Chain A
Amino acid sequence: MSGAPSVLYDAPGPKAKARNIIYTVIFGAILVLIAYLVIAQLAEKNQLAGEKWTPFIESGTWVTFLLPGLGYTLLIAGLSIVIALPVGAIFGIARLSDHKWIRTVAGVIVEFFRAIPVLILMIFANEFYSEYTDVDSDNRVLFAAVTGLVLYNASVLAEVVRAGILSLPKGQTEAASALGLRKTQTMTNVLLPQAVAAMLPAIVSQLVVILKDTALAGGALSVPDLLRQANVISGNFGNTIPTYIVIGVIYVVLNFILTSFASWLQKKMARRKKTPKGTQPLIDAPSQITTTTQAGAAGTGGGI
């Protein structure tokens, strides 16, 4: 990769430079045209007017709507991850158990919850709680949202943990048993810490998935999260587009921080291992998303 910017093309000569300028101009013109059409339409529908945007520089809007919404979103995401991580670890280990029936039961549960959409889990949990428990309706939607997210994400994390344990060299288990450690001790003291460390980037990217999926609860169960507050704000001020842009930016910033943290972790891990000769990549490594699949967990659509 030294010298030329990419192995996919040569360092541009005079002709290529001229051509690139033409492409830049054409593509730039298309972008400007699209931007113009969008802005013209926004202006026609009166979405650019100052008073549609001023609510977002007033502290009232933030204190009354956005911050509570954001807090609720983070609450759902936080509860889900705190519960899903240990549950996922238990199921991941259970799938590697020496006892066939434990392996089978854990496998069926994990595969089942990975195969069905989070949204129908949430809808079902909500109705289930209203039918069979007497939680009040405010808590019920919260419980339903967390239940759905935990069931799905614990299953995905179980696969991540399992892949992490399987990726460790066999010598680790052998050395542990040579030292006289029990199976449980080998797992908790030797295998699990290494597996979690190796899988940290994948776990952090799963956090992004959880954070994004919390919006499902706002859309379908009407919990007062960031997305739901957006509907309240745009109902109050008639400023749909500005509101969506603002909450979109909040989500993107939060997730972008997490995504960047995941890729940083992954690069840090990759530097520890030596890359074998002749396997250097064609382009800069894309961030995380395929980690789980690459690590050998037969992919059932983990990380989206």
Chain B
Amino acid sequence: MFDFLGDYDILGAFWTTIQLAVLSAVGSLIWGTILAGMRVSPVPIMRGFGTAYVNVVRNTPLTVIIFFCSIGLSSTLAFNLAPENSPTFIIDNGFRLAVLGFVAYTSTFVCESLRSGINTVPVGQAEAARALGLSFSQVLRIIVLPQAFRSVIAPLASVLIALIKNTTVASVIGVAEASLLMAEMIENESDAIILVFSVFALGFVLLTLPVGLLLGWVAKKVAVKR
């Protein structure tokens, strides 16, 4: 009863899921840190932009954002992320637009986690740094953010796990990742839907569980002892 599983490229689909997750995670970490920097900066317009961006994007459903990236940006506004004459245009473009959407969305959660991490740094640290004559960007880069990062590994792990699960949303714009393949398989093999579901559920458990355990261990390891 298991032989039909070999007819489908399950590993390939999960590989796309992993690629989506890794690229989006790196992007969100960078953009989220920049947003957090803006939100605590002394320049009011940057604070305003950061706050507005986070509040708007965080409260929009991810599905709406992904649809907007595909239908709005690509189909309507002709904003594409792959060369239009390339033979793999549709695949590449969909994949990159999905990553763009995930980064835009997930970075708001990275930003908020980081801000709560900044709060775990004792006031004296920032005061001492200022007393030494460090500027705002130096205080943030050298003193506050390194300590903040170490204390938010656990919340960031939650964000990463949520991101891995959220990559399934890319299937609504046709990116060939795990959930799209599952929808196809469950349609074709209607007598084995529980088996198909179990295989994909197991795949996601295998992706998310080690990430949680590993980063939980890292979080304990690097926690700032106070």
Contact = CB atoms under 8 A, between A and B. Distances in A.
Given A8-B139, A117-B179, A227 B60 contact: no
A208 B62 CA distance: 12
B159 A248 contact: no
A138 to B, nearest CB: 19
B183 A123 contact: yes
Which of A27, A117, A256 is the most central at the interface, judged by chain B CB atoms within 10 Å of its CB?
A: A117
Q: How large is the interface on B (under 10, 10 to 19, 20 to 34, 35 or more residues)?
A: 35 or more
B132 interface: no
B42 A16 contact: yes
Q: How large is the interface on A (under 10, 10 to 19, 20 to 34, 35 or more residues)?
A: 35 or more
B19 interface: no
5 contacts: A27-B43, A116-B200, A212-B61, A300-B208, A301-B164
A280 B126 CA distance: 13
Which of B59, B109, B216 is the most central at the interface, judged by chain A CB atoms within 10 Å of its CB?
A: B59
Interface stretch (B3-11, B80-88, B93-101, B150-158): B150-158
Interface of A: 5-10, 12, 16, 20, 23-24, 27-28, 31, 41-42, 45, 47, 112, 115-120, 123-124, 127-128, 131, 208, 211-216, 218-220, 227, 230-231, 234, 240-241, 244, 247-248, 251-252, 254-256, 259, 278, 280-283, 285-287, 289-290, 292-294, 298-304
Contacts, number: 230
A247 B144 contact: no
Contacts of B157: 299, 301
A27 B204 contact: no
Interface in B194-212: 194, 197, 200-201, 204-205, 208-209, 212
A9 B179 contact: no
A115 B193 contact: no
Given A45-B78, A219-B169, A9 B139 contact: yes
A252 B5 CA distance: 41
